[in-house]
Amino acid sequence: MNIAMFTNTFIPHVGGVANSVKAFTDEYRRRGHRVLVIAPVFEPMPSDERDVIRVPAIQNFNGSDFSVSLTIPLVLSKKLELFQPDIIHSHHPYLLGDTALRIAASLNVPLVFTHHTMYEHYTHYVPGDSPRLRHFVLELSTGYANLCDQVIAPSESVAEILVRRGVKTPISVIPTGVDMERFSRGEGQTFRAKIGIPSEALVIGYVGRLAPEKNLEFWAEAVARFLRQSAGSQALVVGSGPSWAKIEEVFVREGVQERLHFSGTLVGDRLVEAYQAMDIFVFTSRSETQGMVLLEAMAAGIPVVALDAPGVREVVRDGKNGRLVEEEKIEPFVLAISSIGSLGPKERAPLKEAAQNTAREFSTAKSADQALALYHQLLLKRKQTLAQTDQHKALAAILRRIEEEWNIWTNRLSAAGKAVLGPSVENSSGQS
């Protein structure tokens, strides 16, 4: 099968969507499928990329670590025609997502869209952020989903949100899988020695982008207060981004800055070693659709303490593999960390085992099985509905392209109108 992936983020960018696209691409190729990835330029790109088309992009848009692609539809169309995709899979509802819509229409192949992100939580990267802008983004992504043949949600809770928002396209729940073999190995003590963490210390960890949407000021408040109560405990933060200064400021204020360790962004074996150096993984984001770092931590045998949120509650099972905290309040969250931190290594062992068992439920192989089965269903359905004769195909392709262009602009105008006249984003999303 030939699969074309359209994504606004891809390696070497470090983030959930980029990692998801890379994981599925690698697994599909391992099984003999051909995958073509269309993604923005993002330095430093590998020099030996196979079947990857890079499009020009604005780097570090508005101070973020994202690149904004400047699409070239005509050039892409010619390359896609040569590739002859069976499936086009879009991972964003804008920029290259629009290009995916156009090309799927012109080539008459099924279009799949994975709703990776709660986009309304990311509008602070756009000048002029406001409730109306957030509502516009929400309506735009909902409208985009309804222009696709199939939507994939990374978790059941996200699928429920999409239905409440008005997505009518069929939705399948397929999480991004985790590589159990990779994350279950690694030398944590070696990593501790390199970064200056005592071998016997209890280590509270975090992995991910250090960005406002990750709610890291709350993370810092809770972890710093726990460290004040737990002599000798340490905090390890893996990642980079604009929230680094805020985290450090909180630890300084609480007087525990000497026990805070930043490693910067890590990949490969170094990332696995960092996970293995942790004893408890703490996660406070409410903007996730799945939270891949939770599964990576669990694959490494680390119990998780997290705020109850979509994409998190499917993974963290309170009292089994960690603690799930309903209220976003410091004291209950610190107590949850303490309930695990106060346990000795032997007492934490059942939590570690349960964490790894949870990660096995979300393996990369299982997720790829589900996605490929879905692709085959869509291809069968498309084949059954193709009733045009050869002489009608060219005209039908032109009409489909015109219709899709109309749909794209109609969706944009509809989203803009609802943002101006409609209810607040909080009410329309079904969340408070």
Same domain, residue pair 369 and 351:
no
Q: Is 125 exposed, middle or buried (0-12, 13-18, 19+ CB in 10 A)?
A: middle
Same domain, residue pair 192 and 296:
yes
Same domain, residue pair 205 and 273:
yes
Range of the domain at 369: 2-177+364-429
Mean pLDDT across 378-385: 86
Same domain, residue pair 69 and 205:
no
What would the pLDDT profile of 102-138 be if each residue is shown by its tens digit? Answer: 889 888 899 999 998 765 544 344 444 456 766 777 8
- Dihedral sign for Cα atoms in the order 257, 280, 15, 127: negative
Quickly count: other Cβ atoms within 10 Å of residue 166's Cβ: 13
Same domain, residue pair 351 and 372:
no
Same domain, residue pair 164 and 139:
yes
Where among 328, 361, 394 does a domain terminate? Answer: 361
Cis peptide before 332 (omega within 30 of 0): no
Q: Which CATH number characterizes residue 207's domain?
A: 3.40.50.2000
The whole-number pLDDT of residue 391 equals 46
The whole-number pLDDT of residue 302 equals 97
CA distance 162 to 166: 6
Same domain, residue pair 31 and 120:
yes
Same domain, residue pair 43 and 155:
yes
The reported pTM is: 0.76
Q: Residue 411 above 80 pLDDT?
A: no
Counting the structural domains of the chain, the total is 2
Mean pLDDT across 187-197: 95
Cis peptide before 127 (omega within 30 of 0): no
Check if the beta carbon of residue 290 is closer than 8 Å to that of residue 155. Answer: yes
Where among 331, 361, 391 does a domain terminate? Answer: 361
Q: Residue 346 above 70 pLDDT?
A: yes
